[in-house]
């Protein structure tokens, strides 16, 4: 009987020791987790700061490149204006003396030509001086062109389409013109640059002009 009790005490002692060991192991694991948690937080904070530094560096780098990119864009724009002063989308327009000129390739009556020019935010060409006359003459391609001059309202009272004073201004009529033959009230510039009056419903090429785009 004493042996039985002795065995029981030994068993209880072993279980008690085992329980203590398990308790200590559990405590150690918990303590280890507690110690590791701040380390994880510190690592996350360090990564966050690193990302902030990287992003800040990228922003600074982009800001430093921005002025050079703007300068490059400005130079390209200036070059485009030099190559196509009347606009890169308006290559059919010719540039001369701060103005743009459109030389049609299709015939139209004077009034239709006037409307076509207005649709292009321009007007039939007005000739103020010999220099402009020479430029236009160099572009006529041996054709006649309507210009912005007529005496439709009052016979003999020729007026430029923009209201410029005709009487005191430049003129380049062909000898004997204008003669108002058979009701000729609209002016053309012929293949050699001389002006001639024709019936306004006659079809001819035309020249539009507009200010240089800002």
Whether pTM > 0.85 for this model: the answer is no
Angstrom CA distances, 35 to 39, 40, 42, stand at 7, 9, 12
First to last CA, the chain: 119
Give the DSSP letter of residue 213.
P
Per-residue pLDDT of the chain (214 residues; tens, 9 = 90+): 444 445 555 555 545 555 554 555 555 555 554 555 566 677 777 777 788 888 877 777 666 666 666 565 445 444 444 556 686 555 689 999 999 999 999 999 999 999 999 999 999 999 999 999 999 999 887 899 999 999 999 999 999 999 988 999 999 999 999 998 888 999 999 999 999 999 999 999 999 999 987 7
R_g of the chain computed on alpha carbons: 46
């Amino acid at each position: 009987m004493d042996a039985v009790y002795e065995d029981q005490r030994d068993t209880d002692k072993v279980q008690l020791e085992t329980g203590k060991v398990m308790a200590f192991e559990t405590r150690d694991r918990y303590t280890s987790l507690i110690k590791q948690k701040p380390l994880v937080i510190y690592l996350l904070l360090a990564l966050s700061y690193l990302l902030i530094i990287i992003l800040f560096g990228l922003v600074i780098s982009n800001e430093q490149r921005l002025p050079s990119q703007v300068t490059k864009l400005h130079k390209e724009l200036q070059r485009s204006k030099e190559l196509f002063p009347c606009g890169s989308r308006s290559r059919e327009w010719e540039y001369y003396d701060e103005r743009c000129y459109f030389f049609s390739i299709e015939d139209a009556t004077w009034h239709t030509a006037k409307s076509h020019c207005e649709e292009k935010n321009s007007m039939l060409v007005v000739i103020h001086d010999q220099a402009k006359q020479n430029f236009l003459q160099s572009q006529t391609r041996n054709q006649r062109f309507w210009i912005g001059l007529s005496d439709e309202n009052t016979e003999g009272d020729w007026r430029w389409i923009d209201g410029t004073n005709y009487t005191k201004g430049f003129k380049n009529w062909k000898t004997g013109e204008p003669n108002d033959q058979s009701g000729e009230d609209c002016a053309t510039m012929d293949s050699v640059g001389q002006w001639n009056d024709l019936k306004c419903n006659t079809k001819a090429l035309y020249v539009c002009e507009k200010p240089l785009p800002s």
